[in-house]
Structure 1
Amino acid sequence: MAATNKLAGIVGKINSLPAFARSRALTLFFGKVVPFTGTAGIRIEHLDAGRCVISIANKRRVQNHIGGVHAVASLLLAESATGFLVGLNVPDDKVPVIKTAHAEYTRRAKGDMTVEAHLTPEQREQMQVEDKGETSVPVTIRDGEGKQPIEIEMIWAWTPKRR
């Protein structure tokens, strides 16, 4: 991954570590940069400029009243995965911001949750060349049974940093 910003450079260095150490190093790094992800126990399984996979264990601290991963924790997963991707691709002179989060809860989730988000090469190029803009980042969330209990749409925008 070409380092287009400081964050991409750091993630690139972490991704050059041996495979067994990458996930833990990425998780620890983002837990320091975005403390709430560490507090919630998000684990980064994979992260590069085009794809992010993160998960959360169904543990007491993130559960709802019926013992499943809380609805807001699932949104945190989707926002984090898409945000990490946008953050890796937006140049340092731009600020990424979440514009819209839409969730349709279609069935009861069971067990741990995993989210996978993607950016196309066209979306990544758009972030590099356009001064400001927005894009919908595709995201899929699966529960411990491999089913998709939630349909999520995340729209991210970027604008120039204020000087």
Structure 2
Amino acid sequence: MSADQTSLGEMLAATVPMTRTLNLEYLETTAERAVVRLPDQPDYHNHIGGPHAGAMFTLAESASGAIVLAAFGDQLNRAVPLPVTAEIAFKKVAKGVVTATATLGRPIADIVAELDAGARPEFPVAIAIQREDGAVTGEMTVVWTLRPNT
């Protein structure tokens, strides 16, 4: 993990209380991919002994936020990243440690070009939630925007 990846994960853990509450671990934070792990913690289990749906939602949303910051951190002086919508689908029972992997759905250059043109770009971030055995237990899409500072 690079110093930039470490610092972004540390920054998120320091500034986003829910990240600390769930003990989320930022494994990778680049403009191409963000990977965040939710440890197996009985305090956050559901009625069947796996991670609660709310914890998995927060895990996936946190991975999406990490990739957005990694991709557009250099735009923060002129725009604020904000989630617009989020949709999650639970595919299989999750047990134990789960990991969320986020990827951008549009090229960074296209999004920045829209911002340069005075628009408020929107872009999807796709997130896969997986168990340690690799099975995808959930899929989430968060649509983000870069709201220009006015």
Instruction: Calculate the TM-score normalised by the size of structure 2.
Output: 0.84
1:137 pairs, out of 125, 133, 142, with 125
Q: How many residues align?
A: 143
Tell me the CA shift for residue 34 of structure 1: 1.3
Q: What corresponds to 1:43 in structure 2?
A: 25
Q: 2:102 aligns with which of 104, 108, 117?
A: 117
- Structure 2: which amino acid aligns with 1:50? E
The one-letter amino acid of 1:97's match is L
Q: What is the correspondence of 1:1-163 to structure 2 with a 5 Å cutoff? A: 15-16=2-3, 26-90=8-72, 91-92=75-76, 93-119=78-104, 123-131=107-115, 132-162=120-150
Counterpart of 1:130, as a letter, is E
Q: Secondary structure at the match of 1:64?
A: coil
Aligned partners of 2:101 and 2:128 also within 8 Å? yes
In the TM superposition, what whole-angstrom CA distance separates every residue of 1:93-121 from its partner, at most 9, and x where no partner exists?
1111111111111221121110111236x
Structure number having the greater strand percentage:
2
Instruction: Output the aligned Cα RMSD.
Output: 2.0
Segments of 4+ moved more than 6 angstroms: none
Deviation at 1:49, TM superposition (A): 1.6
Unaligned stretches of 5+ residues in structure 2: none
Does the Cα contact within 8 Å between 1:43 and 1:56 map onto a contact in 2?
yes
Q: Deviations over 1:64-98 (max 9, x none)?
A: 12211111111111111111111222311111111
SS of residue in 2 equivalent to 1:95: strand
Conservation of the 8 A alpha-carbon contact between 1:112 and 1:143 = yes
2:133 alignment partner, SS class: coil
TM-score by length of 1: 0.78
In structure 2, do the counterparts of structure 1 residues 136 and 52 end up closer, same or farther at CA, with 3 Å as the change threshold? same
- Following the alignment from structure 1 to structure 2, what is the Cα–Cα distance between the partners of residues 47 and 130? 24
Q: Contact 1:123–1:135 at 8 Å: present in 2 too? A: no
Offset of residue 26 of structure 1: 4.8
Unaligned runs of 5+ in 1: 1-13
Once the two structures are TM-superposed, the CA of residue 158 in structure 1 deviates from its matched residue by: 1.4
